[in-house]
Amino acid sequence: MNAQHWAILVDNSSPKAVFIESLLKGPIPKGFEHFKDKQGLLFSKKTLSEFIDEEEKHDRKIITDTRTQNLKTMSSGEQKKVLLAFLLEQAPDFIILDNVFDHLDSKTRETVKTTLQKASSTISLIQVVSRKTDILTFTEHVVQMGPRGDIQDVLEFEDREDPGAEARELFVEQRIPEPLEPMSYDAPIVIKLKDIRVSYEGRCILDHINWTIEKGSFWELRGANGSGKTTILSMITGENPKGYGQELYLFGQKKGSGESVWELKQKIGYFTPAMTDNFTGYHSVIHMVISGLYDSIGLYIRPTAAQLRLAKAWLQLIGMWHLKDVLFQELGTGQKRMVMCIRAMIKHPVLLILDEPTTGLDDESARMFVSLVNRFAQESDTTVIFVSHRSEPGLNADQVYQLTMTPKGAKGEVLY
């Protein structure tokens, strides 16, 4: 058949799962009759998870049968490249690409684009995409999906609005709320890594990393897939023992000098989308916000009047006070991220770590999230580390720490 290439632009309220199911199993959505009775495959996070489960639970290596490394231990970029190669080998009539560029560094992104460009002559590609800038340049048909699944044409690719426009103008009506009990931390340095080296099974991951993070600074942490960003973060949060016996200083104490993981977590606010991807608890929005005071996901004790007032102020800041009694699970993706962001910040921690927080967000939601994080940095003494594989428009980080992979492990460099 003649290959057709589509981009379905979705936001975080779009019923994309229903649309994808209809394309694969019918009835074919209106306007996509070209794909009726054609064989289609799905590239998605869910598909990848299913293959990982097969390896983990049933010891069946389906897409990695020619590799020694398990799928779960690969970086996000490697996982996606392996999955894409497997799907292309099946030579389907079309492939649905559900946010194919999420979690990918710039180099891997270009590699995947090149692969898709080569495949586009024989295989139709249907992108379900949240970010306008991710739309493949050879795409012929670009449409927008509404909250009810309705499909509408949008502007030509070159004419689309910059998704980072006016990011700084959001949340300007009030300052971020003050904490109930300010954290006392007067030292000028929050975290210090001095000549840190980390290896796993004889393979060097980090090679002589030196990074000093000062109080109140706003950092963006960059690096390719598999460059060791997660390793560094896990050592800072106390979840990785590789810091023991090294010159790693956390909140003025050398790692292993008697601090507990609990003491570290009290000083840290942390959010990564994986925290709520599989969350099934039944907690209201306001209780999820308050749970940040206890470093739990969900609230399991009765909140005080002061805590309720504080949560109200935070929810008013992000325009979600009217949703205070809604179950967290019923929120859209963008709304969940905003709630988890203020949950991480509610106690004004010494250090706030945001690990790929905008992954999967549409342009509008990402723009709001970035604007909120900028406010945290501007209006508090909290030190912020923002990790992302994509360059987020409007992010006002003061400094960038770049990890670069070498045969001897990743090396670090302060770019500015």
pLDDT band of residue 278 (cuts 50, 70, 90) is low
Whether the pLDDT of residue 228 is over 70: the answer is: yes
Task: Give the mean model confidence (pLDDT) for residues 137-154.
Answer: 88
Query: Can you give the pTM of this predicted structure?
Result: 0.85
State residue 155's pLDDT score.
52
Model pLDDT for residues 14-67, shown as the tens digit of each residue: 889 999 999 999 899 988 999 999 999 999 989 999 999 888 887 888 888 777
Lowest mean pLDDT among 91-105, 154-168, 215-229: 154-168
Show Cβ contacts of residue 66 under 8 Å, excluding neighbours closer than 6 positions: none
Model pLDDT for residues 230-275, shown as the tens digit of each residue: 999 999 988 888 888 899 999 989 987 777 778 888 899 999 888 8
Whether the pLDDT of residue 357 is over 80: the answer is: yes
State residue 210's pLDDT score.
96
Q: Are strands 94-98 and 124-129 parallel, antiparallel or unpaired?
A: parallel
Contact 387, 355 (CB under 8 A): yes
**Order of strands across the sheet that contains 399-404:** 268-271, 351-355, 383-387, 218-223, 399-404, 411-414
pLDDT band of residue 341 (cuts 50, 70, 90) is very high
Cβ atoms within 10 A of the Cβ of 9, count?
Answer: 23
Whether the pLDDT of residue 358 is over 60: the answer is: yes
Token pair 């002061």 is found at: 306
Model pLDDT for residues 163-201, shown as the tens digit of each residue: 444 444 555 467 899 999 988 888 999 999 999 999 887
| Ramachandran area for residue 351 (φ above 0: left; ψ -120 to 50: alpha; else beta) | beta
Model pLDDT for residues 65-106, shown as the tens digit of each residue: 777 788 888 888 889 999 999 999 999 999 999 999 998 888
Model pLDDT for residues 316-333, shown as the tens digit of each residue: 999 899 999 999 998 888
pLDDT band of residue 219 (cuts 50, 70, 90) is very high
Task: Give the mean model confidence (pLDDT) for residues 367-386.
Answer: 94
